[in-house]
Structure 1
Amino acid sequence: MTQAGTFHIQAAGYEEGLTGLRSVREAVFVHEQGVPLALEWDELDPASHHVIARDDAGHAIGTGRLTPTRAIGRMAVLPQWRGRGVGEALLAALVGQARTLGWPEVTLHAQATAIGFYARAGFLPVGGRFQEAGIEHQGMRLLIGALNLVDSRAAAVAATWGVVAGARRRLDLYSRDLDPGLLDQPEIVDAIRRAAAGGECAIRILLQEPEAPQHSLAPLIALGQRLPSAIAFRAVEEQVDRSYPSAFIVNDRGGHFFRPLGHRWEGETRLDGPGRARHLQGVFDPFWERARPCSEYRALGI
């Protein structure tokens, strides 16, 4: 059992936890989201590993399960407990259980509105969206304790989202031209804004072609103008630096997303790889020291 503020996460067998499971899942899925009761309970439930979040009085407030098919599912948190870290704790407990079982990966079907929640935990989208119980879903996957391969723009957005969300004191980003289609996506811009607004995270963005994002009015430039003490831009000028073919983003907690060819989406990511993260920071630092500040990005009066 792990403590987490005013609630705790508890592993539970199906029969012993059934009362708590039903109180949460039927409240959320059946009554709130309109999922038919007959679809909510299935043959996988008795064979699954379940986790239940309980408040200090022992009342169930959240659930999740790990099925024999190595899938995470039935993630639910009562409305009054959302936004308080319950879902994150449930997900971490399920991934930890899969790691203990020696599983190399886990999959899940995320409701479309929850894609960002799972991306922040390192899950990447797989395939297209689909309907399940009348709700739009996206398949997602996480390789446990290993590099996760990025093979699409949607996966690149999710990988970037996860690295940015995990930053605490440092976030370094090396890009050719602020990657249209990636770094201009609203969810990424908002994640960077959140990291910068706290005042503790220094965000350094290094570019090869600073003119292109300026001409296209890239939203990160405007964000940097509003938060100049947290977000700094520089441009590489030495030819040896300009010939660097790759792009990457790396944070101070071992999270990174590396693309061997900076003009493509394909690459590899991991949120818990401190060795690789330190290597990328070592690549970034000398580039940054040799680069010039992008004074043309400053707002008037800054």
Structure 2
Amino acid sequence: MRRAGVLTLLLAVPSSAVVRFHCSQLVVERLDPLVNPGSIPSSHVHQIVGGNAFNATMDPSRDLPAESSCTTCQFSDDFSNYWTAVMYFRAQNGSYKRVPQLGNNQFETARGGLTIYYMQDAIYDRGQKSKVQAFKPGFRMFVGDIAARTLTEAARSRQLTYVCMDTWTSRAPETMAFPTRRCPEGIMTSLRFPTCWDGKNLDSPDHASHMSYPETGTFESGGPCPASHPVRVGQVMYEVVWDTKQFNDLEWPADGSSPFVWSFGDATGFGTHGDYVFGWKGDALQRILDAPCWFDTNCAKESNSTLQSVEAMNSCSQERVVDEDIDGWLDVLPGGFHVDHGRG
């Protein structure tokens, strides 16, 4: 296993960055180089954004910026890969239709994808005083539990939530299960990665053990890191807007349950999860983290970074490696998953 020196906190200055940016869709298919490395296809469908060096293997020693010819992310030096499972609508006749992603607020013309945050403190705190060092090449992590089917199981991976969007800017209330009512503007999922690192490992066998949530409290409340994971790092967060409104006029389950299901068969929503592989070029992310800015300025000028246009983001894509239908009305989920409604 590759190792890095202990992540040290930098000297405090008046403020540092919280950055928010979008990444358009790179590809949607059954590949997962983190959990199912080398498998073509992987077990279930994912939506992937970021650098186009993404493939089925993604060896940690690879130089992603050097191997990528483009990225779908707004920051032109970000060749990382970010991905999640894919949401499907299950019709009353038992068939499935993939739910597409929408460009998030301010990125409506983007080709689906995710919105990414890097934060040192709570997003509403402009101070951002907790200065941290950027991740290193080879760093990767996973958040969530694909097998979670109850609230108790889901709570082990805190802060993975859903918002039923009544308006385009809705961000509350948040739930940990699929919304069970029709959402006028779609469903937003938010995935907040752990913020405490063991200070040594760039990865772990389960891609999660080298990271931890705060021992008590939350990232936003400044909860302390456990002794086993003493290094407090910035929080990576994904926001994904799912265009569920196009299914609002179809028949929904008579029992009041949600008609949506993840691509691995979870109908509860508790199994939502996300994957992250670091791939920023040089010190680009460190410059952003060090910059005195807040996300409403894009932090580009303050960090001497280059932003791509949405058109440039959309122009970067990748051909599917796995040849299968994932977009039509399907009799079964790709990979043959059966719907799991949990154990109550």
Greater percentage in helix:
1
Is TM (by shorter chain) over 0.5?
Answer: no
Please give the range of the TM-score, normalised by the shorter of the 2 chains.
under 0.3
Greater percentage in strand:
1
- Using structure 1 for the length normalisation, give the TM-score: 0.24
- Using structure 2 for the length normalisation, give the TM-score: 0.21
Higher relative contact order (CA 8 A, sep 6+): 2
